[in-house]
Amino acid sequence: MSMNNQGRPTSLDGVENRRRTVAPGTVSPEEMATISGDRGLDHEEKLIFELDHGAVGVDIADVQISGDRLGGMRRSTAIGLPGLSEPEVVRHYVRLSRKNYAIDSGLYPLGSCTMKHNPRLNEKMARLPGFGDLHPLAPQSTTQGALELIAQLMNWLEQLTGMPAVAMSPKAGAHGELCGLLAIRAAIAARGETRTRVLVPESAHGTNPATAAFAGFTVDSVPGKPDGRVDGEALKAKLGPDVAAIMLTNPNTCGLFEGEIVEIARAVHDAGAYFYCDGANFNAIAGRVRPGDLGIDAMHINLHKTFSTPHGGGGPGAGPVVLSDRLAAFAPLPLLVADKAGLRLVEDRAELPEGAQPFGRMCAFHGQMGMFVRALAYMLSHGRDGVRQASEDAVLSANYILASLKDVMSAPFGDGPCMHEALFDDSFLENTGVTTLDFAKAMIDEGYHPMTMYFPLVVHGAMLIEPTESESKESLDRFIHVLRELALEAKAGRTERFAGAPRLAPRRRLDETAAARKPVLRWKKPDELKQAAE
């Protein structure tokens, strides 16, 4: 405990131990009712369908269409869109945006999601004429600049990973996983073999076993060790002539580096199998470790996590897959090649480079151009040393949080350093009456989005924090201070702020059990909702 220059105590140097106070005899903020239903500048916002009063924002001519013009498919009922003027629509969405928590408003501690600052320069580049308005069916002779950008990005990815080839078309991480496994399946078939089993650690991302099953393989789970890493001996014991590949995340979902990875890769290759690495956490080692040097055969790279793109909301994403010498020949179509005419995307198998054996194609076109532009802008502005520093700073931030909180919050693997994520569990809340969810909801009242809760599944009551390289020490100190105080209050039995939290947010806590059992999949009027609930 120290004192600031006003004589007020701080729990960490430079972070005031502030409290919301209410004068005696007055109403607390969470209890205060208003005439309008609004609370200061936080408006009580209805659904846009409930705001409908029949207005229109645009005058449209009354066009008469013959009955047979649409082949008998002309709409016979109202389209059901709300009727509002343009200012009302703008105000509605601006008011909604005020309820949204974003990386532009505060620290976003979601682990395994890399919610970091995305430089606006990259957004500007993605909107340049020739990139932002590029049509996928434009003649390739008119898109040489875009193809050159893709070629440069491919070179960066190959250099950062130490891999000789990269498939650019996959649209996201799970799509990249499928690309890698299909390349592995094609390589095994080219050897005249049939292998049916894929080994997946218990701590893997859920997409790993799902992708393996989707690709036609049988999934065999590999247990972990008490230190949070995969059990190398158990993995080796499962290797056999029917094993096609392993799928391993490194750093893993517990935020730890798999120290046996080179030995594991050697054993996998000796068994005739391939090593697929989930690259979701590449942002922890980019510029520091080249996956190709570790013996990895295929790895997807989330451009939208590691190399800048607004992340969340379901997309857009991009998941290029880097491939080793063992798999490079099986990269999917189209292939980007250079000849006398310049760069071009080759899809005709008769024109393929010598030795190419593509397994097919992943999608209609060649990936997400906007994501490519943003990623290359990020790389060029940072340089190789900057990419390395971003990884180092992300790891430093996570270890700072781990070291600052593990005396008051329980860290299941806190005996050693972590990588980009600090993992805690809920055992420090035992016998306090405060649940893991209570703790998370109390963070909302303090102005923070909760960390990732209950993941990875191998840790009970997991709380996974990823601060990224974006946050300053001052920002981390404020966050650490809040979590320390919440943990200390729970342990001391002062549980008032946890019960029913959040109280200061625009909405109270949802009944998640009821929401799961009685989902509302379309908009209903309030009286319909009441009737459905009854």
CATH number at residue 305: 3.40.640.10
Average pLDDT, integer, range 52-58:
82
pLDDT of residue 259: 94
Contact criterion met (CB below 8 Å) for 218 and 197: yes
pLDDT of residue 311: 65
Say if 211 falls within a structural domain. Answer: yes
Say if 92 falls within a structural domain. Answer: no
Confidence of residue 315 (pLDDT cuts 50, 70, 90): low
How far apart CA 297 and CA 221 sit, in angstroms, is 20
Say if 404 falls within a structural domain. Answer: no
- Collapse the DSSP code of 524 into the 3-class scheme (helix H, G, I; strand E, B; otherwise coil) and give the result: coil
Average pLDDT, integer, range 383-408:
97
Q: Beta strand 9-12 with 15-16: parallel, antiparallel or unpaired?
A: antiparallel
* pLDDT per position as a tens digit, 115-163: 888 899 999 999 999 999 999 899 999 999 999 999 999 999 999 999 9
Contact criterion met (CB below 8 Å) for 178 and 147: no
Average pLDDT, integer, range 220-243:
96
pLDDT of residue 113: 81
Q: What is the DSSP string of 344-376?
A: EEE--GGGPPTT-----BSSSSSS-HHHHHHHH
Contact criterion met (CB below 8 Å) for 219 and 245: no
Q: Tell me which residue range forms the domain holding 294.
A: 123-130+143-377
Confidence of residue 66 (pLDDT cuts 50, 70, 90): low
Q: How many CB atoms lie within 10 A of CB 366?
A: 22
Of 250 and 521, the structure prediction assigns the larger pLDDT to 250
Total structural domains within the chain: 1
Would you say residue 6 has pLDDT above 60?
no
Of how many residues is the chain composed?
A: 534
The per-residue pLDDT of the chain, averaged, comes to: 89
Would you say residue 9 has pLDDT above 50?
no
Say if 483 falls within a structural domain. Answer: no
Residue in this structure with the two tokens 């990884």, named with its chain if needed: 391
pLDDT of residue 18: 42
8-state DSSP, 238:
H
Burial 143-173 (b: 16+ CB within 10 A, else e): beebbebbeebbebbbebbebebbbbbbbbb
- Amino acid letter, residue 102: A
CA dihedral 254, 259, 262, 267 (to 10 degrees): -80
Q: Rounded to the nearest 5 degrees, what angle is found at the Cα of 383, between the Cα atoms of 464 and 470?
A: 30
| H or E element that contains 487 | helix 473-491
- Collapse the DSSP code of 126 into the 3-class scheme (helix H, G, I; strand E, B; otherwise coil) and give the result: helix
Confidence of residue 3 (pLDDT cuts 50, 70, 90): very low
* pLDDT per position as a tens digit, 10-48: 445 444 444 445 555 566 666 677 888 887 878 888 889
Confidence of residue 514 (pLDDT cuts 50, 70, 90): confident
pLDDT of residue 98: 86
* pLDDT per position as a tens digit, 282-313: 999 999 999 999 999 999 999 988 998 766 55
pLDDT of residue 7: 39
Contact criterion met (CB below 8 Å) for 285 and 391: yes
8-state DSSP, 172:
S
Say if 39 falls within a structural domain. Answer: no
Confidence of residue 178 (pLDDT cuts 50, 70, 90): very high
Entry pTM: 0.88
Contact criterion met (CB below 8 Å) for 170 and 279: no
8-state DSSP, 279:
G
Contact criterion met (CB below 8 Å) for 172 and 319: yes
Sheet holding 422-424, edge to edge: 422-424, 463-465, 452-453
Copy the structure tokens of residue 359.
Answer: 């397994």
Q: Beta strand 165-167 with 197-201: parallel, antiparallel or unpaired?
A: unpaired
Confidence of residue 509 (pLDDT cuts 50, 70, 90): confident
Average pLDDT, integer, range 421-439:
97
Say if 275 falls within a structural domain. Answer: yes
Where is average pLDDT lowest: 381-395, 421-435, 507-521?
507-521
Percentage, residues of the chain above pLDDT 70: 89
Average pLDDT, integer, range 65-83:
72
* pLDDT per position as a tens digit, 233-277: 999 999 999 999 999 999 999 999 999 999 999 999 999 999 999
Confidence of residue 75 (pLDDT cuts 50, 70, 90): confident
pLDDT of residue 188: 98
Say if 354 falls within a structural domain. Answer: yes
Say if 250 falls within a structural domain. Answer: yes
Collect all residues with Cβ–Cβ distance below 8 Å to 523 and sequence separation of at least 6. 47, 49
Confidence of residue 460 (pLDDT cuts 50, 70, 90): very high
Q: How many CB atoms lie within 10 A of CB 141?
A: 9
pLDDT of residue 167: 97
- Collapse the DSSP code of 182 into the 3-class scheme (helix H, G, I; strand E, B; otherwise coil) and give the result: helix
